[in-house]
Structure 1
Amino acid sequence: MHPASAWLANESAHIEDEADEHDLHAFQAIRRMDEILVNNFMVFQDVVEEGCYDLVVGDEAWDVDYFLHENPELKRFAFAWMTDFVGWVPMPDGGEHEVALTADYNAEMIEQRARYGRVRDRSIFVGSPEDVVDLPFGPGLPGIREWTEANFDFAGYVTGFVPPTQQEREQVRRRLGYGEDDLLCVVTVGGSGVGGPLLHRVLDAVPAARRLVPGLRFLVVTGPRIDPAGLPRRRGVSYRGYLPELYRQLAACDLAVVQGGLTTCMELAAADRPFLYVPLRHHFEQNVHVRHRLERYGAGRCVDYEEACDPDALAVAMAKELHREEHAIPVETDGAQRAGEMLAELI
């Protein structure tokens, strides 16, 4: 970990300032964080000027990718870009104004790639072509999937772990103090502080859910920026803050309730666990890109926040998902290997 990491401006605080109750207009939030992106690119530039690096891997490093295209003379290394979604997408209630804005951002990106293709030595999509939404970039612009297939290599999804066997799942459950007959629901909302309202809504539904499913127990994982002590206490609920290797707890659960972030949802899909996901309102990636991918895998059930605000409705949704018998399409496990091979070719 480079010590210059301490100079990076914190994106999480900005995102939390932009958020309302389970509502984050991700596109507008990114539009309003120029000072953070500029600061962090300058930190990056100082680091690469002082060091001697053969390869830079930008994992959705929007600042690095954008400003290298704006200043291609600064590139003195192989550069690989990695992302799991392509294309800014307007929200339905954004009207023509948002359609025009997202199209303008997409057009700028397309033009950058056409003019300065040499900036990226590899563009890697973390997924398959079918995971890309089949929508246009905007009026008069190409289709997102069509353009992505022509401009990216596809690694398949990168889980970061091999899905546990049934025996390994039982071992984790025993370490957590759960027996074979116990039913465990894990509730988690990612690493930022915007998930607090959803945690409260789930806790409101706990009594009704436990009446519908006797013996159901909950593990609420708040993450590093939400204090578990600030949440209401409920019978049958355990509370934890940050949990390393959260995917192990997710793989051991019988049900999960999560936000709509791709990583957590795909960890659940890879472990073939039933789950409800509640996308942040106006978050285009969670509502469009992530939902498209999960529907392709047949993983999880999307719940609107308005439904989650009704304790009885959320409890019924939990009970139904807990007993769902359909299984998701298996998530590929060789994505990291393929991505690594693509990166190795650049060194």
Structure 2
Amino acid sequence: MRVLFYCQHVLGVGHVFRSLEIVKGLADHEVILVTGGAELDIEPPANMTHIQLPGLMMSPDFKTFIPLEEGVTDVDALLERRLAQFRDIMAEHRPDIFLVELFPFGRKKFRFELLPILEDIRKGTWGNCKSVCSVRDILVEKDDMEKYTRGVLKMLNPNFDAVLVHADPELVTFDETFPGVKDMVPKLHYTGYVACKPAPGAGQALRNELGVDDTPLIVTSVGGGNVCQELIDSVLEASPILNETHPHRLCIFTGPYATDDNFARYQQMAEPYPWISVRRFTQRFPDYLAAADLSVSLGGYNTTMNLLAADTYGLMYPFMQNREQSMRAKRLEEKGILKLLGSDDLAPATMAKMMGEAIDHPAQSHTIDLDGAANTARLLETIVSS
């Protein structure tokens, strides 16, 4: 089976890394990953070819395109060039599955290239190819939900053969944030959550590597680093207070998109304290969470699933611009898996107290389905053969 997987990131990197986990689940199949945002340092799995379209990002209000190629100012010409290259990619690879991340539930601005490709697939331009949408558990709220739902269904129903929701319906069902489920023509499948699982023993091996014996290890992260840097400030200021009663090691990951000024400031804040390290990113993040006694983080999909896979307790500060992170985190707090942080908890003394209490909190066992990548592969195999 040959899968062409389209993933366009515009703000953070979570969509891409979730997509990479799905690619790993498709290890027995050939995958062509097509991305079109800022270039990323991707370590491709053996079964994957990565093709980068001419780069596009969105303005902060998500209304206009920003070309990422130096010197490019003619956006319309760039859009035409992207579509032409996209068609060439489809013609060269002739996939069995066209897997589209998020669209049409999001990335509406990219319909300039996706709708023509989907229409050509319907016409059989590149042989027998099935179109499948890959979407996370919770959609962000819209000002006019009725209009949004109509627009999604108009693009979804004639163009897609299936929708794969990367969620466990025991925790969240898709109709909670998309009321048009009952009117969908393509069949909806729940895959379970897509989680990058640490290898057995990876956590202890990393503790040994870091020279951490019985000292509590705290890992702090803020996803891609575009937002909520105030959480890092809070933890950096709380750590010296906490260290007076709870000596610990603190590993902070600022995210690859943290500004150079912020990164330099964090390193300067940490310099007097030998137990604190500050880095932008690690390919071994799941291992760090498995090694940790406590995670302090935002509530993005990937970080949350890493936390569940590691069986580590967490303090979680959801990004509040929309409901996605807080809705998921509240469900998990109800199960005792983590504790929510609010803006009032960012005061250094309060944060130090909460971290001290959380270090000793045992991880809560759960039965949430984290086999989303493997289940996605099985479902795609079934869809191709149907």
The root-mean-square deviation of aligned C-alpha atoms, in Å, is 3.2
* Alpha-carbon distance in 1 for matches of 2:381, 2:56: 30
Task: For structure 2, list consecutive stretches of 5 or more residues without a partner in the other structure.
Answer: 1-32, 34-48, 68-74
Alignment counterpart, residue 339 of structure 2, candidates 301, 306, 311 = 301
Length-normalised TM-score, structure 1: 0.76
Length-normalised TM-score, structure 2: 0.69
Q: Which has the higher helix share?
A: 1
Q: Does the Cα contact within 8 Å between 1:133 and 1:292 map onto a contact in 2?
A: no
Q: Secondary structure at the match of 2:52?
A: helix
Letter in 1 for 2:307: L
Letter in 1 for 2:339: R
Shift of 1:316: 1.6
Shift of 1:50: 4.8
For 1:255, the equivalent position in structure 2 comes to: 294
Shift of 1:327: 0.5
Shift of 1:69: 5.1
Q: Secondary structure at the match of 1:215?
A: coil
1:73 maps to 2:105: no
1:121 maps to 2:161: yes
Shift of 1:45: 4.1
Alignment counterpart, residue 199 of structure 1, candidates 211, 232, 235 = 232
For 1:175, the equivalent position in structure 2 comes to: 209
1:153 maps to 2:185: no
Q: Secondary structure at the match of 1:329?
A: coil
| Larger RCO: 1 or 2 (CA < 8 Å, sep 6+) | 1
Mapping 1:91-170, distance limit 5 Å: 98=143, 100=144, 102-114=145-157, 116=158, 119-130=159-170, 131-132=172-173, 135=176, 137=178, 142=179, 151-161=187-197, 163-165=198-200, 167-170=201-204
* Alpha-carbon distance in 2 for matches of 1:276, 1:147: 38
* Alpha-carbon distance in 1 for matches of 2:331, 2:90: 35
Task: For structure 1, list consecutive stretches of 5 or more residues without a partner in the other structure.
Answer: 19-28, 91-97
Letter in 2 for 1:245: R
For 1:95, the equivalent position in structure 2 comes to: none
- The count of corresponding residues between Structure 1 and Structure 2 is 308
Q: Which has the higher strand share?
A: 2
* Alpha-carbon distance in 1 for matches of 2:202, 2:50: 37
Mapping 1:1-347, distance limit 5 Å: 4-5=51-52, 7-10=54-57, 14=59, 18=60, 29-30=61-62, 32-33=63-64, 39=79, 42=83, 44-61=86-103, 62-63=106-107, 66=111, 68=114, 72-75=118-121, 76=126, 77-90=129-142, 98=143, 100=144, 102-114=145-157, 116=158, 119-130=159-170, 131-132=172-173, 135=176, 137=178, 142=179, 151-161=187-197, 163-165=198-200, 167-179=201-213, 181-211=214-244, 213-226=245-258, 227=260, 228-231=263-266, 232-233=269-270, 234-235=272-273, 236-288=275-327, 290-295=328-333, 298-304=336-342, 306-325=343-362, 327-347=364-384
* Alpha-carbon distance in 1 for matches of 2:337, 2:183: 26
